[in-house]
A = this chain, B = another copy of it.
Amino acid sequence: MSRRSGVNFEAPAPRFSQRRRWASRQAISFLMQQGVENPDVVSLAAGLVDPQTLPIEATQIAIEQLLTDTKRAREALQYGTTLGAETLRRQLLNHLARLEGCQVEDLGIASGQLVLTTGSQQLLSLVGEVLMDPGDICLVAAPTYFVFLGVLEGLGARTIPVATDADGMCIDALQTQLEQLDAEGLLERVKLIYLVSYYENPSGVSLAEQRRREVVELVRRWSERNRIFVLEDAAYRELRYDGPNLPSIWSYDSGRDFVILAQTFSKSYSPGLRVGYGVLPRTLAEPICDRKGNEDFGSANLNQHLVAKVLEEGLYAGHVAKLRASYLAKRDNMLAAAEKYFHDLPGVRWVQPHGGLYVWMTLPESIDAGFDGELFRQAVKVEKMMYVPGDLCFPGPPDDRPRNHIRLSFGVEDPGGIELGMRRLANAIRAVI
């Protein structure tokens, strides 16, 4: 008898999979809910892009051209392939060559090693799926991109933090970790080193050029028995405002054997299209494609054709230039506001990023900036501003994580909002210090 027919029937609880039991409630959901429940807050938390610079016009032009060409319109509205539209994958070889400053022939890859995904997030997830068994190890910078920490947790993988400084992950510390794991007989469980190589979310730091070379040499050296891959997440690569134009880690992997390069059009064009891509070592192309076949047998084909058109028609470069100028100004707004409101707060310091969307701020150790701490409550409920607690970005048991960091984004708010949010944050900190 059913509930709705009025008889008291309680269906027994489902027995979920082990994976479901590993999955944690996502912090991002909590943050979004806070946003919904507190609509008047100034959000320096959201990882969204700037709404003002979204490419409405370029998209109008590209989609109109695509849909008025009947042959291409039919291709775009039909099923595509699991790897993704060949027309975009060919364009991406050119795009990648431009970013790498080389000729397409010198990339040393075929278009079959490019896979188009639902944002680069899906690539990160797919790499985890084909490589990681429960208990397998991924080494990450501390702090790092918290959504990927959730992916690893959901796989039952073990995530080991490696010390970082202003030049990104410390290669010496990485070497020491590997030696220790080897001594413990765990080297064969090490599958992956995850590195957000440009303007890391959340720290804003980029891996220094010399370390890029070193990390490739290191995985090669430590892969004697079992290949260790580097997963290079270059999501923010094209959002460079100043500082050096760094080569990718991938560029140092001359045999294309060890580095998986994840990139996306979410930050540099539009996240609503969810077009990301991976550049894969040959040996991973088939496993990733098979797995993606089971998950969705291909991301949205229309969007891939649309991005191809945007690239083809030369609409992309101008848009990225415009974006950079806009974000550069907003970054400077945030840094100026930080200087203005925080310079006299003892023990508060922050990173000055050369690109990306985030400013990482360190508070006095006595301050707990977490969801349950006094600062978050003061910021959201009293001052009406929101940030991302930094402890989310560290792996490991909650009690072992530093809790005195926060991630601030200049992505969504306009300059006035950034200034206001920073002033409110300073007030909140003063109130709890």
Instruction: Report which of B78, B130, B150, B289 forms a contact with A48, defined as CB distance below 8 A.
Output: B78
Q: Is A5 an interface position by the 8 A CB rule?
A: yes
Contact status B63-A32, CB under 8 Å: no
- Contact A67-B63, Cβ < 8 Å, known A2-B255, A29-B293, A191-B15: yes
Q: Which of A162-170, A267-275, A381-389 contacts B (4 or more CB under 8 A)?
A: A267-275
Contact status B296-A122, CB under 8 Å: yes
Contact status A60-B54, CB under 8 Å: no
Kindly report how many copies of this chain are found in the complex they form together: 2
A417 to B152, CA, bound (A): 49
- Contact A287-B54, Cβ < 8 Å, known A11-B257, A77-B272, A300-B300: no
- Chain B residues near A295: list those with CB within 8 A: 118, 121-122, 125, 295
The contact size tier of chain A is 35 or more
Closest residue of chain B to A191, judged by CB?
B15
Within residues 199 to 242 of chain A, which ones have a CB less than 8 A from any CB in chain B? 220, 223-227, 229
Q: How far is the CB of A108 from chain B (nearest CB, A)?
A: 6
Within residues 252 to 292 of chain A, which ones have a CB less than 8 A from any CB in chain B? 253-258, 266, 270-274, 281, 283-284, 286-287, 289-291
Contact status B297-A4, CB under 8 Å: no
Contact status A74-B48, CB under 8 Å: no
A245 to B192, CA, bound (A): 52
12 A–B contact pairs at CB < 8 A? A2-B257, A4-B254, A4-B255, A11-B281, A12-B223, A28-B293, A49-B78, A80-B272, A121-B297, A122-B295, A147-B297, A272-B300
Given contacts A13-B227, A14-B283, A77-B271, 6 further A-B contacts (CB under 8 A): A20-B291, A56-B67, A56-B74, A64-B64, A78-B271, A79-B266
Q: Which 10 A-B pairs have the closest CB atoms?
A: A2-B254, A11-B257, A3-B255, A2-B255, A272-B301, A77-B272, A118-B296, A274-B300, A77-B270, A54-B77
